Amino acid sequence: MAEVLVVVESSQGAVKKVTLEMLTLARTLGEPSAVVLGAEGTAAAIIDKLAEFGAQKVYVAEDADLAGYLVAPKATVLADLVARVSPAAVLVASTQEGKEIAGRVAVKLDNGILTDVVALDADGIATQTVFAGSTIVKSKVTKGLPLVTVRPNSLTPSPAPEPGAATVETISVAVADGDKLAKVVERKAEAKGARPELSEASIVVSGGRGVASADNFKLIEEFADLLGGAVGASRAAVDSGFYPHQFQVGQTGKTVSPQLYVAIGISGAIQHRAGMQTSKTIVAVNKDSEAPIFELADFGVIGDLFKVIPQAAEEVRKRK
């Protein structure tokens, strides 16, 4: 069977869920090979996990410059690898960095690219949802090999039925000056607590304009924590300064597709729906019975969120 490259995303020694999803997908297409691109010491902690999810081979490219400069060095290493091994497909996470790497590889190899893919079959036909989730598109790369970025939470990751040890192949890296134009001088973490990452979470609890203040977002955070979910925010809430932009769900923010999406004090403008309407189950709390969010909610509570949510939190605690 042909080799399928999966570009690994990891953070502090942990493989991101989207990578495990891509390995699971890759197993249906061929023999998964994971590609680790990062600073020295990135691969050691994660190789076993990659093998557990079916990576038969792990390409390890480690160099301080891969992390020290924005995406161009990673794209060069990946494009060289793709040209060398001619895989059946290349899967990259549909994150900002993943898309950027894939975009550069597409130009380098004059190869087509498909982004935000939610499914890919063995014939290279990819499924995408576009226009705020209203349209389903089947598409394919017509020049070169299937180079796709896979949207997080598109499938359920599962360990390989008979995992073996992965063969490790080290790739030597020498980053050229032309790839060292955008230097990362500092990485700053902004606390999201122990919560799961927004685009990967299976439960997302979001607050909107109705939450009314940054302080009140504690209510949203508390309820998210009780459900083990991530916190999101509508654009109105972000623009009002209630919550940071990296948690914005919608047209100009993140697209999420969790098992459960709880919309609290969110009217459901199209800008917001664009980012969440492919969620499996949607629940809404809003005092306006005419709010458009109720049109897509599987269950809606018409009422004051400042009464409903604390009571719901108490009820969850009782049931635990």
Partner 1 sequence: MKIVVLVKQVPDSGAERNLRTDDNTVDRASANNVINEMDEYAIEEALSLKEAHGGEVVILTAGPEKALDSIRKALSMGPDSAVHIVDDALHGSCAVATSKVLAAAIAQQNADIVISGAESTDGRVQVMPHMLAERLGIAALTGARKLTVDGSTLTIERQTDEGYEVVTASTPAVVSVWDTINEPRYPSFKGIMAAKKKPVQTLTLADLGISAGEVGLAGATSAVVEHSKRPARQAGNKVEAGDDGGVKLVAYLASEKFV
Residues 117-136 that bind partner 1 (CB under 8 A): 125, 129-136
Nearer to partner 1, 45 or 143 (CB): 143
Q: Say which residues have a Cβ less than 8 Å from residue 160's Cβ, sequence separation at least 6.
A: 23, 27, 52, 53, 54
Query: Which of 18, 23, 58, 102 lies at the binding interface for partner 1 (CB under 8 A)?
Result: 102
Nearer to partner 1, 1 or 182 (CB): 182
Query: Site size for partner 1, by CB under 8 A?
Result: 94
- Answer yes or no whether residue 95 interacts with partner 1 by CB under 8 A: yes
For the bound state, the minimum distance from the C-beta of residue 77 to partner 1, rounded and expressed in Å, comes to 14
Query: Which of 30, 80, 112, 119 lies at the binding interface for partner 1 (CB under 8 A)?
Result: 112
By C-alpha distance, which of 143, 147, 160 is closest to 79? 147
Q: Say which residues have a Cβ less than 8 Å from residue 249's Cβ, sequence separation at least 6.
A: 198, 204, 206, 232, 233, 234, 255, 256, 272, 275, 276
Torsion angle in degrees (nearest 10) through CA of 75, 80, 84, 86: 30
CB atoms within 10 A of CB 176: 10
Query: Which of 203, 212, 221, 240 lies at the binding interface for partner 1 (CB under 8 A)?
Result: 203
Joined together, the tokens standing for residue 229 give: 């979910």
Q: Are 255 and 132 in contact (CB under 8 A)?
A: no
Q: Report the site for partner 1 in 245-304 (rule: CB under 8 A).
A: 245-246, 251-252, 259-260, 270-271, 274, 277, 281-283, 285, 289, 294-304
> Which range of residues in 23-31, 45-53, 207-215, 310-318 is near partner 1 by CB under 8 A?
310-318
CA 150 to chain CA mean position, Å: 8
Joined together, the tokens standing for residue 141 give: 């790369």
Nearer to partner 1, 164 or 310 (CB): 310
- State phi, psi for 14 to the nearest 5 degrees: -120, 135
Query: Which of 30, 85, 144, 209 lies at the binding interface for partner 1 (CB under 8 A)?
Result: 144
For the bound state, the minimum distance from the C-beta of residue 34 to partner 1, rounded and expressed in Å, comes to 20
Nearer to partner 1, 56 or 267 (CB): 267
Angle at 185 (CA atoms; ends 252, 193), nearest 5 degrees: 55
Judged by DSSP in three states, 237 sits in: helix
Nearer to partner 1, 81 or 132 (CB): 132
For the bound state, the minimum distance from the C-beta of residue 47 to partner 1, rounded and expressed in Å, comes to 23
The site string for partner 1 over 169-198 (x = CB under 8 A, - otherwise) reads ---------x--xxxxxxxxxx-x----xx
Q: Are 47 and 161 in contact (CB under 8 A)?
A: no
Nearer to partner 1, 162 or 183 (CB): 183
Q: Report the site for partner 1 in 55-74 (rule: CB under 8 A).
A: 70-72
Report the relative pairing of strands 230-233 and 203-207 from DSSP bridges: parallel
Q: Report the site for partner 1 in 211-240 (rule: CB under 8 A).
A: 227, 238
- Interhelix angle 305-319/217-227, rounded to 10 degrees, is 30
Nearer to partner 1, 1 or 184 (CB): 184
By C-alpha distance, which of 283, 306, 303 is closest to 293? 283
For the bound state, the minimum distance from the C-beta of residue 144 to partner 1, rounded and expressed in Å, comes to 7
Query: Which of 48, 65, 80, 99 lies at the binding interface for partner 1 (CB under 8 A)?
Result: 99
